[in-house]
Structure 1
């Protein structure tokens, strides 16, 4: 009889592509991964891993068994969902990933409501960019992910995930209080063709969106500073180092030397939550989605 936990280890190796990645995903040590794989190889009577430089790769037998492992784990998740649904109790562990402004703007209220209504539910939250958290839900490392895309650039959602809309988040442009356009009531992104921009990290979805949107308006963006946190971006704006996009969700206090103006281009972010479709019936997932929707309705 094949051991389920060892199959989970093999599945994690196949998904992450390395022993260290599998260990991180399973929240165990690399030696624990190696030990589980050694035991699984003894169970099946043939090698499942082979050396590949400093790392490892799956053998043909390893890939074959990994495909079965993924299906077995999915069936186990379906069984867990059905059992939880039959009990009708919101209990157990729930793992949620969310991008930074959702962590500040949505998760505190959501977790407070879940704790009050479902005290036996243990929720663990991780701050991650939408691309990362969505992949983690697909892999099974997270149960839900709060993600975003933009009105003019959508993020593809894998077919195995369900999604629910939470809110549309309007954005402003932040500029130094002494900026020539600071006295206007509304502005367009095209007005900042000659300005320096402060943006998110290169490769992130929001950074790519900003470049895509400005170029669509005939503006070649001059991005001079990169900062992950919105508060850091606003500090740079206050220092007169450029302008930035300032979403309203989770924004918090704005430095006194920063002027915010709404954008006549109707920029907005779509905020939504995703989860594995085979977890649709889990009461804990349904409760968390409901709490997120209620919190989002306050914004």
Structure 2
């Protein structure tokens, strides 16, 4: 009989395309991946991998078996979900990927509530960009991912995933206190045509959104500085080195030399959570989604009172 863990290893190889990628996705060593594949080849009686340059590729038999492995693993997910649903308790391990501001703004309160309400549930969190975390959920490396898109630029969600909206997160433009517009109560993005911008890393969804949005107002953006963290971006703004868009979720204290200006046509991010459709009945998934929604409702309630 075929061993499920070895089929998981083959599935990871097919999805990641390399032994090192499969090892990282499975959180094991490359040696462990090679050993599992050698045992699986002995079980089926034919080679599943062939050398390809410095790496490996799946043989025809390997690709055939990998297709079956993916379906078997999906069926196991459904079985696990059904068993958990019958028990009705959120137990075991739940793996969540979240982008940085959600890590700060959403997860601490959410995980505290989950720990109190579901003491047998072990939650593991990893900071990741949305596209990366959604891909990890599709692969089965994560159970849930927190993701975003913007009011004028949507992020595609793979068809295997279920999506639930959590909150809308408004964003402001941060400018130095000495900026000519610093005293305004609201601004439009088109007014920053002559400013340098501090942006996220190139290739990240938020960086692509910023360039897309500024060009939509007739501005060819002058991206002068790239910084991953919002706090780093605000430090550059305070130093007079540019302006930036700064979302409110997880923002924390703003440097004294920075002014936050609301945009007249409100700039918002949509924050949502995704999970695999075949895991939809798992009580641990439902408990985490409910806890995230409760935290998001409290955040929006506080924002409403401040507004």
Considering the TM-score relative to the shorter chain, is it more than 0.5? yes
In structure 1, how many angstroms separate the alpha carbons of the residues matched to 2:90 and 2:202?
A: 40
1:66 and 2:77 matched: no
- 1:21 counterpart SS class: helix
In structure 2, how many angstroms separate the alpha carbons of the residues matched to 1:99 and 1:88?
A: 30
Partner residue, 1:275 = 275
* Root-mean-square deviation (Å): 0.4
CA shift for structure 1 position 266: 1.2
In structure 1, how many angstroms separate the alpha carbons of the residues matched to 2:108 and 2:230?
A: 18
Partner residue, 1:129 = 129
Partner residue, 1:155 = 155
Partner residue, 1:217 = 217
In structure 2, how many angstroms separate the alpha carbons of the residues matched to 1:63 and 1:224?
A: 46
- TM-score normalised according to structure 2 size: 0.97
CA shift for structure 1 position 212: 0.3
Unmatched 5+ residue regions in structure 1?
none
Partner residue, 2:31 = 31
In structure 2, how many angstroms separate the alpha carbons of the residues matched to 1:97 and 1:277?
A: 17
Structure 1 residue runs of 4+, over 6 Å off? none
- TM-score normalised according to structure 1 size: 1.00
In structure 2, how many angstroms separate the alpha carbons of the residues matched to 1:189 and 1:102?
A: 25
Partner residue, 1:83 = 83
- 2:142 counterpart SS class: coil
Unmatched 5+ residue regions in structure 2?
300-307
1:3-42 matches, cutoff 5 A? 3-42=3-42
Q: Deviations over 1:226-263 (max 9, x none)?
A: 00000000000000000000100000000000000100
In structure 1, how many angstroms separate the alpha carbons of the residues matched to 2:254 and 2:189?
A: 20
Partner residue, 1:175 = 175
CA shift for structure 1 position 202: 0.2
Partner residue, 2:304 = none
CA shift for structure 1 position 265: 2.0
Partner residue, 2:305 = none
Q: Deviations over 1:191-231 (max 9, x none)?
A: 00000000000000000000000001110000010000000
Q: Deviations over 1:48-106 (max 9, x none)?
A: 11111111111111111000000000000000000000000110000000000000000
In structure 2, how many angstroms separate the alpha carbons of the residues matched to 1:196 and 1:60?
A: 53
